[in-house]
Structure 1
Amino acid sequence: MTDKEQVFGIDLGTTYSVIAFINDFGQAEVIRNREGEETTPSVVYFESATSFVVGKEAKNEIVAHHDATVSLIKRSMGTDFPLQFFGTEFRPESISALILKDLVEFAQQATGIDTNKVAITVPAYFGRGETAATRQAAEIAGLEVVGIITEPVAAALSVGVTGDKAETLFVYDLGGGTFDCTVLEFSPGTGDSSGATSGTVMEVLAIDGHRSLGGADWDQRLFELVKAKFIAQAGLGDEDPTEDEDFVQKLTNEVEDLKKSLSRKEKAGASLRYGDVALKVEVTRAEFETATRTLVDQTLDIVRRTLATAQQKRPDLKLEEVLLVGGSSKMPMIQASLENEMGWSLRKTDLDLAVAKGAAIYGQGISLRPPTPTPVGGTDDTGTEERKLAPDVIIFNGEELEIRNALSRSLGLRWVRESAAVPGEWEHFIGFVAHQQESLPLRRPFTGFAAQDNTTNLTIRIYEQISGVEDENPKSNTEVTPTSGATLTNLPNLPAHSAIEFELSISSQGEAQLSAFEPISNQRIDLPITLSVMQAADVAKAKQAVEGMVRA
């Protein structure tokens, strides 16, 4: 492939990130970083107003320079969480952009591939806000995103499932900061009216997860366990050694190595010093597993919930394989719990590398697929919309593969109705139109009605579900109406119950648009649905700031 056809695949992780590409042998290969390691800590240290460091060097500064260091930023993606460094504001998107910039610039040097095209992974349960923020991070970094792919789908691609027979997979993905569960169904395409291709179809049947549950939480439990043992052995009483920054830095570094050792051995130790006290604190695997058992149980609850959702779609659901993904899945307690409590036989992937490899395969598959033909009549809005709603088809193992994603969170409009509690009064509620777990792409027409006589203006407000279940209360949802607003104006004094025609469309990548049409006045409004904290002007300003930053 030429450089223009090459696409870097990036697993932008909470604690570690990985970048991969397709090598000359057609295999997905991880690109080692400056230290020769396959994974790079997702940590940024601001050395000055114009210089930064990413990775292991930055991680070593977390305690000593905590005011200038950022970690676990993925947990804040899609939220309004500005940070100040040397007088400049950096939002989560900008922090992530620095990580992406560093990964790609070194990958270009290491491989000699001159491309800024990337395919980036996100957790399957990310909503519009987090996904939009990921795209914006790449834009701020000066990268061209050819596609966003969910982490479980990327992991499935990395193991080379052929799909030449009907097969159902469960993906258990425990990363450093997030947890993801997905049920995937592979089958030969049928060429039916839904737009399936003649090749393999990969359909997401169910998704679930937790954006703030991952290996970092196991680290914190182990930190507290070792700290308590040190205090007891040293006889410190109420004295808190974590008030000493050197102790905290040493224990923070020791904890990760200790956790890795306990995955291989039944007992491991950490050498610590506080003042004149120097001790080696030993921890057994059993003690660690007891301290973190509730975290394991949280993942199992989500596993069972995901299976129940998939069984609603496929009552005769049978799993052929269970894929274990994510660096934190290396812990023996995870594998033992899934085998003993779920009765599963596990297929281990490259664990912390599988997602990036799958992203590279996905990116290449996009570059190899034939260009979408221009619709008859040119590139008008209708043609553009049709292309957006086309199936997500890539070239995989020389054949077409259609990926049918699932909607991670329900979408609805704010409506009014007469209050059941107080007759004669109106109340607002969210009426959901597209529901969590529905297959993508989708197009959903529906009808609304004017609530009162002499309606001349109609304001449309769109909401996205927050919790795991739909809730009609507007306060229990997030508004995703465009910042510019959405109002049909100068309507011809519509009488109550006059019909308004709506259509919600959601692409295979989860990009949504709502259209509203009032037939009497012949008015139409088209609304892109995004949940971006950063607006276009914010992105442009952030891009300029990141362009001015150099790696120390």
Structure 2
Amino acid sequence: MSNTVYGIDLGTTYSAIARINEQEMAEVIKNFEGQDTTPSALFFESEDNVVIGAEAKRGALADPDNSCLLIKREMGTDYAVQYQGKDYTPESLSALILRAMVDAANEATGEDVDQVVITVPAYFGTQEREATRQAGQIAQLNVVGIVTEPVAAALSIGIRSEGAQTIMVYDLGGGTFDTTVMKVDSGKVEVVGIDGSRTLGGADWDEAMVQLLLERFKAEAGANAEGCEADDEFLLDLQLKAEETKKSLTRKHDVKVSLRWESAKVSLTITRADFEAATAHLVNQTLEIAERTVKNAQQKEPGLTIDRVLLVGGSSRMPMISEALRNTLNWEPENTDFDLAVAKGAAIYGQAHIEEILSSDGEELPETTGNESKFFLGGARSLSVKNVLARGLGVQFVREASGDPYVHFFAHANGTIPCEPAPIDAQTVADQQTHVELSLYEQAGDQESENVTDNRELKSVDLPFAKPMPKESPVRILITITTEGLVRLKAEDPESGNSVELEATVSQLDEQQVQEAASQVSSLSLRS
């Protein structure tokens, strides 16, 4: 097996890839255009050719119907879309981005590496994480690990021996937002609490800028702007200029923007104050999540205090973010590599994995492990990572008195993983019952709720009995949750010994669909 592994930050708007170089340092590998990051954009030129990256993003202007942006927001869902007459899932579209990233990295380094660690937002649930792993499999990559973005970011700043610290990672990416509280020490990371939103990110700030520009344009152009909102080309141009303006306002206090539609041509001046006023509600959402994360962590560990606050994700560059954290929460945030920290940390995690000096289950490694200090681990000899569950997990039961369904939670958000919850002893509800339906659910809201409609069904299977069973016959449910937050369920009929398992493939795609998607992806010509 090759001793090289790539760490891939598979982002909503931009992606990056890194490795540990010969100097034992995490380095980002530049793409074909010499850039550290690649837009997570796809443009289908034909049924056989796909463009990935900056050119694909530009191609969205000319042909939006054959362009794909923000696909990460659909991971783990049944979303499907058609390009050039072919159907694609979020997993297969993400696989194309992953394949293009690895191909470019191999060409840049002269290597032939297929081992990868892929990052996910901390708030990604079971289905999204499994979908990410399957995207790697569809890309015909050897996914040696899935690591959360905040843990990767913490690794990238260096887990050295200056002493134990408690850090908060504030990660505002292009399409998702996470906050994570973790305790770090030399070669050790222990996640205490996480929270976030899979539908809040820099793209929402972009949309706010789009609306700001559109309102100003319509006000200036008057009747000449009537109908502009129905013009896809105008709107796509507006979206690109909105992103450019947002980025410019991180360095400037005002930016001039020229917009044209048919006979209307308007030059606008957008100030940083304008933008901050238009997005104050988004900033406040992140502050509420950050405060909630700390409170939840303090419930687990009373007296816990935050020593450092790290800003991660390209959108954290916006001055309004550090100002809000400073003025509202009295935190003094520290800048990181922003766009690059997560990919670097994934490479560190991956290298520790393939050198067999990684413990990701909280168990102590043998004393013989990691006899030499590792520069990429900040001088530590090995790496230990303890994680927590993103969302509560439960199974559906029926109340005996009313017959109403409800969700019984066997694992809770921010519970330490891996774990094996206590077996659940259930029973049949009717005479002559021939099977029992076993349905696995994941918490959908901020709080656990027994209401079935407040949760997301991950998987449902039937456990057949060897013979019709009388009412109140016992059924035992055994559960295992891996360190990556993936679930295995096994239900047993103690009388017959019959059992059914829900393995880690708690996803939208089954094994055959993954193979079919891999064949589809491998048949396409990629260009970036």
TM range (shorter): over 0.9
Deviates more, 1:512-521 or 1:69-78: 512-521
Equivalent of 1:235 in 222, 225, 240? 222
Q: Would you say 1:213 and 2:203 are equivalent positions?
A: no
Q: In 2, are the aligned partners of 1:172 and 1:181 still within 8 Å (CA)?
A: yes
Equivalent of 2:413 in 431, 436, 442? 436
Residues 97-496 of structure 1 aligned to structure 2 (within 5 Å) = 97-162=95-160, 165-187=163-185, 200-236=187-223, 239-369=226-356, 391=363, 396=377, 397-419=379-401, 425-450=402-427, 451-452=429-430, 455=433, 457-481=435-459, 485-490=461-466, 493-494=469-470, 496=472
Q: CA deviation at 1:529?
A: 4.7
Aligned residues: 516
Using the alignment, how far apart are the partners of 1:412 and 1:272 within structure 2?
Answer: 52
Using the alignment, how far apart are the partners of 1:161 and 1:23 within structure 2?
Answer: 18
3-state secondary structure, aligned to 2:192: strand
Distance 1:246 1:89, change over 3 A: closer
Q: CA deviation at 1:524?
A: 4.0
3-state secondary structure, aligned to 2:305: coil
Q: In 2, are the aligned partners of 1:445 and 1:502 still within 8 Å (CA)?
A: no
CA deviation string 1:436-475 (max 9, x = no partner): 1100010112342323555553332222221121111222
Distance 1:120 1:81, change over 3 A: same
Using the alignment, how far apart are the partners of 1:315 and 1:150 within structure 2?
Answer: 25
3-state secondary structure, aligned to 2:46: coil
Q: CA deviation at 1:510?
A: 1.3
User: Residue 19 of structure 1 aligns with which residue?
Assistant: 17
Q: What amino acid is the match of 2:453?
A: K
Distance 1:492 1:544, change over 3 A: closer
Using the alignment, how far apart are the partners of 1:370 and 1:294 within structure 2?
Answer: 44
Q: What amino acid is the match of 2:419?
A: L
Using the alignment, how far apart are the partners of 2:225 and 2:175 within structure 1?
Answer: 31
Q: CA deviation at 1:432?
A: 0.6
Q: CA deviation at 1:164?
A: 5.8
Q: Would you say 1:551 and 2:521 are equivalent positions?
A: no
Q: In 2, are the aligned partners of 1:481 and 1:530 still within 8 Å (CA)?
A: no
Q: CA deviation at 1:165?
A: 2.8
Using the alignment, how far apart are the partners of 1:44 and 1:161 within structure 2?
Answer: 36
CA deviation string 1:330-376 (max 9, x = no partner): 0000010001101011121101110000011111010111699xxxx
Q: CA deviation at 1:247?
A: 3.4
3-state secondary structure, aligned to 1:433: strand
Q: What amino acid is the match of 1:417?
A: R
Residues 33-48 of structure 1 aligned to structure 2 (within 5 Å) = 33-48=31-46
Q: CA deviation at 1:311?
A: 1.0
Using the alignment, how far apart are the partners of 1:216 and 1:278 within structure 2?
Answer: 26
Q: In 2, are the aligned partners of 1:480 and 1:530 still within 8 Å (CA)?
A: no
3-state secondary structure, aligned to 1:405: strand
Q: What amino acid is the match of 1:329?
A: S
Using the alignment, how far apart are the partners of 1:121 and 1:154 within structure 2?
Answer: 8
Q: Which runs of 5+ in 2 are unaligned?
A: 371-376
Q: What amino acid is the match of 2:126?
A: R
Q: CA deviation at 1:256?
A: 1.8
Deviates more, 1:80-89 or 1:471-480: 471-480
Q: CA deviation at 1:163?
A: 5.6
3-state secondary structure, aligned to 1:63: helix
Q: In 1, are the aligned partners of 2:224 and 2:264 still within 8 Å (CA)?
A: no
Distance 1:478 1:15, change over 3 A: same
Using the alignment, how far apart are the partners of 2:364 and 2:65 within structure 1?
Answer: 43
3-state secondary structure, aligned to 1:449: strand
Using the alignment, how far apart are the partners of 2:334 and 2:248 within structure 1?
Answer: 22
CA deviation string 1:514-547 (max 9, x = no partner): 2333433344443315431111111111111111
Using the alignment, how far apart are the partners of 2:502 and 2:399 within structure 1?
Answer: 24
Distance 1:390 1:524, change over 3 A: farther
Using the alignment, how far apart are the partners of 1:162 and 1:85 within structure 2?
Answer: 48
Using the alignment, how far apart are the partners of 1:502 and 1:531 within structure 2?
Answer: 16
User: Scaled by the length of structure 1, what TM-score is found?
Assistant: 0.89
Q: In 2, are the aligned partners of 1:389 and 1:506 still within 8 Å (CA)?
A: no
Q: Would you say 1:504 and 2:504 are equivalent positions?
A: no
Q: CA deviation at 1:273?
A: 2.2
Q: Which runs of 5+ in 1 are unaligned?
A: 189-199, 373-387, 420-424
User: Scaled by the length of structure 2, what TM-score is found?
Assistant: 0.92
Q: CA deviation at 1:42?
A: 0.4
Q: CA deviation at 1:236?
A: 3.2
Q: CA deviation at 1:33?
A: 1.0
Using the alignment, how far apart are the partners of 2:142 and 2:478 within structure 1?
Answer: 30
Deviates more, 1:462-471 or 1:528-537: 528-537
Q: CA deviation at 1:427?
A: 1.7
Using the alignment, how far apart are the partners of 1:505 and 1:367 within structure 2?
Answer: 24
Distance 1:239 1:524, change over 3 A: closer
Q: What amino acid is the match of 2:508?
A: V
Using the alignment, how far apart are the partners of 2:326 and 2:262 within structure 1?
Answer: 45
* RMSD between superposed Cα atoms in Å: 2.2
Distance 1:257 1:527, change over 3 A: closer
Q: In 1, are the aligned partners of 2:9 and 2:346 still within 8 Å (CA)?
A: yes
Using the alignment, how far apart are the partners of 1:515 and 1:163 within structure 2?
Answer: 42
Identity, % of aligned positions: 44
Using the alignment, how far apart are the partners of 1:368 and 1:235 within structure 2?
Answer: 65
Using the alignment, how far apart are the partners of 1:228 and 1:454 within structure 2?
Answer: 66
